[in-house]
Structure 1
């Protein structure tokens, strides 16, 4: 409607502008003739007006009529101004009427005033035709738009009902259901894709939660069962205070192991809930690697391991220093535990392919290719660590810390075991030494 209204107004203005140009052109010619003492063009205009569309009149300086087919001075008309819309009182012998016209007044060389006008009846008729044409053009466009909107509304309602039905199945507990998508740019399709992504994440979290519950039950049952069996045996068979003391110490050790599992899980949960953003600040990674190396150097020497730390570049990141220290310490701790005597552990801060890496590499037995994606899961222990004391939560903790900082944790294939913390290029400040 706005477009058609604009077309109508523009057309009307063009018609008025065309009439104004004709009036100005004729009045200029008549004023030029008056300087020669002639008014032949004015008289010719009065004679050649069979349709009576061209009012013209000659008036004195004080507005009295001298000649022409205009009975009296048009109200509101000013001398030597642009053409305006006025109502002209026609003074034809056989016709008296008020004629809407465009007109202007020009002063002639002898002091008289010339009024030249042009009826706007044709303009009004043309504008009326244009208006009717636009209205008739608007009607089918409106009907077509209405039909299209109804069609789209029906389709949208059908899709919404489908989405409601799928959503009801999901609420009922069927997390395998997903909203139907058509790979289009439709807003509902985009919404369905977003919801499906959320459902994928929720399903993964629910499955992990169920698996974690099983793992917790399994890992806590063993130490608690040992505590119970040990205490029961001590109650029935211990004959001295020393035997009761030994049984009590074993029970305390078992309870401490169970508490360690719970503490580690709570620690991972705290990190995954991102409760520590307030502790973020500028952290010097080279300094962290150096401190971790100094901490584990005695343990490496005790096991006859060669532990080296390479920090040839100074790198600062925004993060929690304690958490990053804990992540690197866990990687080095794993390397010290699982590397056989006489082996080697390399801890390095390097730059490769535009990324800064924290790399911990050992000469231990390594892992199978099919285990790489499983190592960061809670309680998962590879074949190389089955007979080594631990909770199976170290790499899970590292993964949670790395994810909190927006970094990437990777385990590389090859000889030995290589773990890397990959930092994004836009979050690192480097000063190569």
Structure 2
């Protein structure tokens, strides 16, 4: 009873009920319209046939009198069809015709009007079968009366056949509508129940559960695909949050422990102002390191929480790269290396200028720390191109590179390869670059160039025609959804 009540309250049930009512009413109107139209058409045909018979007989009567009329009527009654004839004298005695019995009032009111009557046919054992006909009666000179009519048997049979067919059609429509409603409602309810069951499993904590697809690419499949993409994103964010929490607990435990040890040592062993000052300076250094880690985490979180396209504007990448290169070129030269730029003029992209600048800074600093070659000077290259409907920027060096098996791992938070443990850092720089790339609808990808490593991100290009025509604001507010989650 509960399932029935829930089923009756569903939108699918109400819509199906409405469709059944609409189809039933439309079918009923169609039945009435066809029946009335058919009956009127056949009645017109009967009237035309009777009028044609009367015109022919009246011509015979005018030309040859009552004798020719009797002969003509007698001849026509010998050919059985739907036509009816009856000629009587002034006393009501039948002279000729094919009607056995007829209400006397029909002959008495010989006004030429069309009327529907019941009669019995003469001969062939049909005197006891009552029929219906449309007749006209006229009074002739000498007191004679002539009745001409048309049997309605064929018309009535056809009307009954049509009415039965239409009634059957109406029943079939209602039954088929009910069957369709039943199966459609069950299908819709099953899909909704599947979605509800999956939702309950997800709410219970199983974030790996996904909505099932029927493979029909209908609206439920499209909804399920979108919801599954959303769930993938939520699961990724939840996993990232868990990883961040684990990494914070793991990576911050050492500096916090070290900070606590130094404070305890200072309280126990430090003597005089110089001892306490040295302890405070060491403590301050550790707190600065912790603050840098937390600031980097907050910056990554802010980038990941931005809506794609909400902070985008057209930017001249040639000019942006030139500004970054001007800032870092002296530093590279101090390291005994050189900085090369290969970005074509008028290369524009829809991006967040500040975040892309931060990306280039992080990649250049990583190359300065870990991209020094074993022999020869350091060479850094900043390159940009537009290919395949996307704009990409890259920073490459001529150092030892990164093993391919670690290309994905180095983008995770707090990950530092063994070769870089001796260098200062937090292990969050590439995580920020990855977050910025995803915000721009692209990816961060690495490629070993033997020698060296190339780090590349994708951006959305600017359409120069749109930019000049003034619709840039509409275009620049849209970016592709982040790939890969």
TM-score (norm 2): 0.64
Match of 1:407 in 2: 442
Match of 1:309 in 2: 341
Match of 1:351 in 2: 386
**3-state SS, counterpart of residue 255 of structure 1:** helix
The change in CA–CA distance for 1:23 and 1:346 in structure 2 (over 3 A counts) is farther
Conservation of the 8 A alpha-carbon contact between 1:349 and 1:358: yes
Match of 1:233 in 2: 265
Q: Distance in 2 between matches of 1:128 and 1:398?
A: 83
Following superposition, the deviation at residue 200 of structure 1 comes to 3.4
Q: Distance in 2 between matches of 1:384 and 1:200?
A: 34
Following superposition, the deviation at residue 167 of structure 1 comes to 3.7
Conservation of the 8 A alpha-carbon contact between 2:207 and 2:231: yes
**3-state SS, counterpart of residue 252 of structure 2:** helix
Conservation of the 8 A alpha-carbon contact between 2:117 and 2:133: no
Cα displacement string for residues 14-40 of structure 1 (whole angstroms, at most 9, x for unaligned residues) = 775687699889999x99xxxxxx999
Following superposition, the deviation at residue 274 of structure 1 comes to 0.8
Does residue 374 of structure 1 match 2:409? yes
Does residue 422 of structure 1 match 2:443? no
Cα displacement string for residues 281-328 of structure 1 (whole angstroms, at most 9, x for unaligned residues) = 221111111111111112211211211112223122233221121122
Q: Distance in 2 between matches of 1:393 and 1:175?
A: 26
Q: Distance in 1 between matches of 2:433 and 2:416?
A: 15
- Segment of structure 1 superposing worse, 211-220 or 351-360: 351-360
Q: Distance in 2 between matches of 1:141 and 1:353?
A: 55
Conservation of the 8 A alpha-carbon contact between 1:12 and 1:123: no
* 1:24-423 map, 5 Å: 51=82, 88-89=114-115, 126-140=158-172, 142-147=174-179, 149-151=181-183, 153-154=185-186, 157=189, 161=193, 163-185=195-217, 191-274=223-306, 279-340=311-372, 342-415=377-450, 416-423=452-459
**3-state SS, counterpart of residue 283 of structure 2:** helix
**3-state SS, counterpart of residue 346 of structure 2:** strand
Following superposition, the deviation at residue 266 of structure 1 comes to 0.9
Flag structure 2 segments of 5+ consecutive residues without an equivalent.
1-23, 56-61, 86-107, 121-131, 135-148, 466-485
Match of 2:15 in 1: none
Following superposition, the deviation at residue 270 of structure 1 comes to 0.9
**Structure (1/2) with the larger helix percentage:** 2
The change in CA–CA distance for 1:353 and 1:25 in structure 2 (over 3 A counts) is farther
Aligned-residue CA RMSD in angstroms?
Answer: 4.6
Flag structure 1 segments of 5+ consecutive residues without an equivalent.
32-37, 55-68, 75-87, 102-116
Following superposition, the deviation at residue 413 of structure 1 comes to 3.7
- Segment of structure 1 superposing worse, 254-263 or 412-421: 412-421
Q: How many residues align?
A: 386
Q: Distance in 2 between matches of 1:325 and 1:262?
A: 21
Conservation of the 8 A alpha-carbon contact between 1:71 and 1:90: no
Following superposition, the deviation at residue 239 of structure 1 comes to 2.2
Q: Distance in 1 between matches of 2:434 and 2:250?
A: 23
The change in CA–CA distance for 1:177 and 1:279 in structure 2 (over 3 A counts) is closer
Following superposition, the deviation at residue 351 of structure 1 comes to 3.0
TM-score (norm 1): 0.71
The change in CA–CA distance for 1:16 and 1:211 in structure 2 (over 3 A counts) is same
**3-state SS, counterpart of residue 347 of structure 1:** strand
**3-state SS, counterpart of residue 386 of structure 2:** strand
Conservation of the 8 A alpha-carbon contact between 1:261 and 1:391: yes
Match of 1:111 in 2: none
Match of 2:103 in 1: none
Following superposition, the deviation at residue 259 of structure 1 comes to 0.9
The change in CA–CA distance for 1:118 and 1:391 in structure 2 (over 3 A counts) is farther
Q: Distance in 2 between matches of 1:287 and 1:70?
A: 111
Conservation of the 8 A alpha-carbon contact between 2:391 and 2:459: yes
